[in-house]
């Protein structure tokens, strides 16, 4: 994610935080029974891959545990517009209480040079591009996870990840133009 994109995300968060709270709605009749309170969403442990899968489901995406490997859990994610993976690392023996998550997406089309990949990485605060062993470009985003990581923090990471994917797609489409704009 370029510093410009990161600034826009931060500015959006600040604008939302500074917005005045909406006024409560008036009831139709003074003696009407108060509406039933909506149940708060279930608590999510962001260190558990099931927490991510739950948040993704609310975003019209499907997460499925693909495999466990040592202290890692690999999740395949599909949505109407994207396919990517999430690797939870530093997990306990049951695949819970993980310490970090790494989102990874294979590029579709485009084959930037190594110099262009390095230039992208110099302009991005949160996203990293690399070439795999088959010289295919990937973008990745990683985050540390804590006992307090819940739904809101997972949504923040997913939104940052979406920004990474957008920047990566623009970069693959026109590396020279993207880098000129990012400078």
27 has pLDDT over 60 = no
Tens-place pLDDT, residues 108-138: 888 899 999 999 999 999 999 999 999 999 9
Mean pLDDT in residue range 11-15:
36
Q: Which helix (H) or strand (E) covers residue 104, if one does? A: strand 100-106
The tokens describing 66, both together, are 């693909």
Q: How is the chain split into domains, by residue range?
A: 43-182
Helices and strands in the chain: count of H runs, count of E runs: 5, 6
Name the architecture of domain 43-182: 2-Layer Sandwich (3.30)
Whether residue 90 contacts residue 98, with contact meaning beta carbons closer than 8 Å, is answered with: yes
pLDDT higher for 6 or 105? 105
The string of DSSP letters for 115-156 reads HHHHHHHHHBSS-EEEE-TTS-EEEEEEEE--TT--HHHHHH
- The pLDDT of residue 183 is 78
Do 143 and 154 contact (CB within 8 A), yes or no?
no
Q: Looking at residue 38, what is its pLDDT?
A: 60
d(CA 59, CA 102): 19
- pLDDT tens for 32-83 read 555 666 655 678 999 999 999 999 999 999 999 999 999 999 999 999 989 9
pLDDT at 24: 43
């Amino acid at each position: 994610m370029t510093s410009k994109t990161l600034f826009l995300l931060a500015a959006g968060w600040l604008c939302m935080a500074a917005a005045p709270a909406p006024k409560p709605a008036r009831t139709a009749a003074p003696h009407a029974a108060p509406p039933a309170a909506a149940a708060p969403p279930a608590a999510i442990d962001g260190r558990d891959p099931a927490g991510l899968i739950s948040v993704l489901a609310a975003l019209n995406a499907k997460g499925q545990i693909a495999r466990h490997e040592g202290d890692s859990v690999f999740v395949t994610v599909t949505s109407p517009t994207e396919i990517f993976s999430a690797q939870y690392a530093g997990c306990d023996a049951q695949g819970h209480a993980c310490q970090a998550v790494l989102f990874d997406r294979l590029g579709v089309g485009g084959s930037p040079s190594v110099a262009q990949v390095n230039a992208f990485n110099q302009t991005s605060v949160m996203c990293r591009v690399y070439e795999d062993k088959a010289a295919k470009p990937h973008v990745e985003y990683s985050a540390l996870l804590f006992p307090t990581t819940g739904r809101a923090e997972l949504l923040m990471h997913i939104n940052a990840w979406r920004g990474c994917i957008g920047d990566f797609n623009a970069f693959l489409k026109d590396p020279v133009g993207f880098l000129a704009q990012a400078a």
